[in-house]
């Protein structure tokens, strides 16, 4: 089966629906993944999907392929990827697949594959899956597997709510961005006693408001305006599979997710002194400073939810998080990223410390930070382009500490005494990612102008692409 090799990414599979993906390819991926699992003595799989227009039909085709290998499948239908991981424990099934393209635009789709509890496939395993599909090396069972349909969203909500107290003093606004987080978040927050305001909780596969990406300033500004208009105390939004979140305070102030990493680290270290905290290369220096100030051990890791999840398990960290909004609470929860659970941890921390979000953030070290900036560069060009950019950065900043080892892996981070910046290529989309910050406005402007001038030298970057995110932060 011929499949575009570029859609097998660092930690999931994503491509253009109807071009890179179709039901036949989905069926072959099901056959390949069923074979992959059986050769590891795994015989049961949970499957779920997001609300994209092609997700249901891809899920049906994928399940057909899985069943043909003899594995048994539980179909949980439209849900969140955190619900899928949770259901692995509920059903005691190591295998899992979630049909989604996460925060990519509506015309994309893809798959997240799990081969153990809370554990997703990474690059080498995805390449093994690709090879199985390409040569059609499948196990075909004499007796197909059994299919069971089981909607478990209500059970998932009940379990999460039962892990927390009641937060009757919180007025929470939920903007679901027309995605399937609407199935979970509003009811979850009502169950823990919050007054809930709903915005854009009607599910629409076309994403009429644009891509639901909590790292996008457009999405965050909409959320901020809604919070202030409703008189809410805090606002949350989610990406299309619900493992990442965006948060704003009652005055409409954005809280970028690396700042939340720092806040969560302080919370976890309060009960786990001396613990290791894992964070990705894109995170602000606020994170390192906060971990050290609270007696923890900082562990920097390459970007990607599968990589950071694996690193957290490896070093036995109590918490891990990254700028994009993937958070892993290994102190009190399963070791996977779950947006609704993370939002409850925000409310729990604010309740315990009797603070507003603004007050909690004000207690952290201060840096002027850019959002996560994404500039389009084709998949077949981005790696080579990064190899040209990296030597320039090292030459132009000889005083910087250069981080380009396995912690960066797909880019370079420069540590300056009064700031830092990162340029890397994305593992899950055709773009470069940029993040920079400084202690002073003067240094911030200097870095911004440098990065803008540097990137405009390269014709491989498409400044007009609809996939670009937050590029106005370089103006």
- pLDDT tens for residues 411-446? 899 999 899 999 999 887 899 999 999 999 999 999
Place 404 in a pLDDT band, splitting at 50, 70 and 90.
confident
Identify the H or E element spanning 249: strand 245-249
How many other CB atoms are found less than 10 A from the CB of residue 83? 28
Place 33 in a pLDDT band, splitting at 50, 70 and 90.
very high
pTM over 0.75: yes
Residue of 92, 102, 59, 96 lying closest to 77 (CA atoms): 59
What confidence score (pLDDT) does residue 408 get? Answer: 76
What confidence score (pLDDT) does residue 110 get? Answer: 97
102 is an active site residue: yes
Predicted confidence (pLDDT) at residue 40 exceeds the cutoff of 80: yes
Q: Which domains does the chain have, with CATH numbers?
A: 5-153 (3.40.120.10), 166-254 (3.40.120.10), 257-335 (3.40.120.10), 368-474 (3.30.310.50)
- In the sheet that holds 319-321, the strands lie side by side as 297-301, 276-280, 319-321, 327-329
Place 9 in a pLDDT band, splitting at 50, 70 and 90.
confident
Find how far residue 230's CA is from the centre of its chain: 28
How many other CB atoms are found less than 10 A from the CB of residue 414? 21
Cβ contacts of residue 21 below 8 Å, gap of 6+? 7, 15, 54, 58, 109, 110
How many other CB atoms are found less than 10 A from the CB of residue 18? 10
Buried b (16+ CB within 10 A) or exposed e, 308-323: bbbbbbeeebbbbbbb
pLDDT tens, position by position, 138-166: 999 999 999 999 999 999 999 999 999 99
Find how far residue 132's CA is from the centre of its chain: 27
What confidence score (pLDDT) does residue 181 get? Answer: 96
Place 17 in a pLDDT band, splitting at 50, 70 and 90.
very high
State the chain's mean pLDDT as an integer: 94
By three-state DSSP, how is residue 452 classified?
helix
pLDDT tens, position by position, 289-305: 999 999 999 999 988 77
pLDDT tens, position by position, 201-234: 999 999 999 989 998 999 999 999 999 999 999 9
Q: Indicate the DSSP class of residue 144.
A: P
By three-state DSSP, how is residue 187 classified?
helix
What confidence score (pLDDT) does residue 261 get? Answer: 96
Compute the chain's Rg from CA coordinates: 21
- Do the beta carbons of residue 54 and residue 14 sit within 8 Å? no
Cβ contacts of residue 70 below 8 Å, gap of 6+? 34, 38, 43, 139, 141, 142, 143, 144, 145
The residue annotated as part of the active site, out of 55, 68, 102, 426, is: 102
């Amino acid at each position: 089966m011929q499949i575009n090799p570029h859609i097998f990414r660092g930690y999931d599979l994503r491509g253009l629906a109807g071009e890179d993906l179709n039901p036949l390819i989905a069926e072959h991926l099901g056959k390949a993944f069923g074979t992959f699992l059986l050769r590891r003595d795994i015989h049961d799989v949970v499957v779920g999907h997001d609300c994209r227009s092609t997700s249901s039909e891809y899920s049906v085709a994928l399940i057909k392929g899985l069943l043909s290998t003899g594995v048994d499948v539980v179909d949980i239908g439209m849900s969140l990827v955190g619900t899928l991981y949770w259901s692995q424990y509920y059903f005691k099934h190591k295998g899992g697949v979630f049909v989604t393209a996460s925060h990519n635009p509506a015309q994309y789709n893809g798959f997240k594959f799990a081969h153990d509890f809370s554990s997703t496939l990474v690059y080498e395993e995805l390449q093994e899956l690709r090879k199985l599909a390409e040569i059609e090396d499948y196990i075909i069972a004499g007796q197909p597997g059994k299919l069971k349909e089981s909607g478990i969203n209500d059970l998932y909500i009940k379990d999460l709510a039962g892990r927390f107290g009641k937060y009757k003093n919180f007025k929470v606004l939920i903007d679901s961005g027309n995605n399937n987080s609407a199935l979970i978040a509003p009811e979850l927050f009502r169950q823990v006693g919050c007054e809930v305001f709903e915005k854009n909780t009607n599910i629409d596969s076309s994403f009429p408001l644009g891509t639901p990406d909590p790292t996008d300033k457009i999405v965050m500004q909409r959320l901020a305006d809604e919070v202030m208009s409703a008189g809410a105390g805090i606002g949350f939004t989610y990406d299309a599979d619900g493992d990442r979140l965006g948060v704003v305070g009652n005055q409409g102030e954005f809280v970028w997710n690396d700042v939340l990493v720092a806040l969560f680290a302080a919370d976890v270290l309060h009960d786990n002194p001396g613990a290791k905290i894992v964070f990705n290369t894109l995170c602000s220096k606020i994170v390192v400073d906060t971990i050290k100030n609270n007696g923890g051990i900082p562990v920097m890791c390459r970007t990607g939810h599968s990589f950071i999840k694996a690193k957290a398990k490896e070093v036995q960290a109590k918490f891990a998080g990254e700028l994009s909004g993937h958070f892993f609470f290994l102190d009190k929860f399963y070791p996977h990223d779950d947006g609704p659970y993370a939002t409850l941890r925000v409310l729990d921390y604010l309740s315990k410390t009797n603070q507003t979000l603004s007050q909690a953030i004000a207690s952290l070290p201060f840096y002027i930070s850019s959002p996560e900036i994404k500039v389009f560069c084709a998949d077949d060009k981005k790696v080579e382009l990064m190899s040209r950019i990296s030597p320039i950065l090292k030459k132009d900043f000889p005083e910087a500490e250069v981080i380009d080892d396995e912690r960066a892996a797909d880019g370079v981070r420069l540590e300056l005494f009064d700031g830092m910046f990162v340029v890397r290529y994305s593992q899950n989309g055709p773009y470069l990612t940029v993040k920079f910050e400084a202690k002073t406005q003067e240094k911030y402007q200097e870095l911004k102008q440098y990065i803008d001038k540097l990137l405009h030298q390269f014709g491989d970057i498409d400044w007009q692409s609809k996939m670009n995110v937050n590029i106005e932060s370089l103006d």
